[in-house]
Amino acid sequence: MARTQTHPVHVVHRIGAAALGVALLVFGVLGLARNVPWLFAGELVWGLSTNGALAVLSIVAGLVLVISSVWGGRLASTVSIGLGVLFLLSGLVHLGIMHTGANVLGFRLSNCLFSLIAGLFLSVLGFYGRVSGGLPPDNPYRREHPIKHHRPDPDEQIRAESGDEQHQRMMDAEISVAEGTATREQAEAVERERARKLEQDRKHRSTR
């Protein structure tokens, strides 16, 4: 079992995945309990059409979401993104085949709308807290950023604040400039620091 992740971003991912996962599980179980046909048209559950195949798929998707939420926030986020894309594709595809013989899952318009809404919810949930350009220092996904070699760990930032606040402010300014989120003051400070270092290097070379 993965170690417990208690960061608020992980909590959001886990709760969101678990909530929709439980709803899908209940929907699937209720469908199977009504002895619906396995393919094509079925019965209504919560205003959505379901048959045996759709009920089983709902149970599988629900179990995946619930298990990912129990395992950890990072996995819940990744699974939410993946299933979100599948739900969106399913809703769009079934809008096109809804009145044809290819509609083996018995989708109706309400099913398509639910699939699109659920897909959007899962996608937003999964990407929450991990795609922003200005991730806070304690964000668990910050170290995965392409410029992570410029980023200290949160513990290192805390130690830097107690030892050299000026150096820490400059470090934060450089990170913000690299991310494109720097204020005018931060950009000017970084530019002055670069100019100072260039001047030092020039003097050092001239004394050799």
Window from 25-29, 163-167, 198-202 with minimum mean pLDDT? 163-167
CA gap 146, 88 in Å, rounded = 28
Confidence of residue 135 (pLDDT cuts 50, 70, 90): low
**What is the pLDDT of the chain when averaged over all its residues?**
79
Can you tell me the mean pLDDT for 185-205?
80
Q: What residues contact residue 92 under an 8 Å CB cut-off, 6+ apart? A: 116
CA gap 181, 82 in Å, rounded = 29
Residue 168 confidence (pLDDT): 72
Q: Is the pLDDT of residue 74 over 60?
A: yes
Q: Is the pLDDT of residue 173 over 70?
A: yes
pTM: 0.60
Of 177, 113, 186, which Cα lies nearest the Cα of 147? 177
Q: Is the pLDDT of residue 4 over 80?
A: no
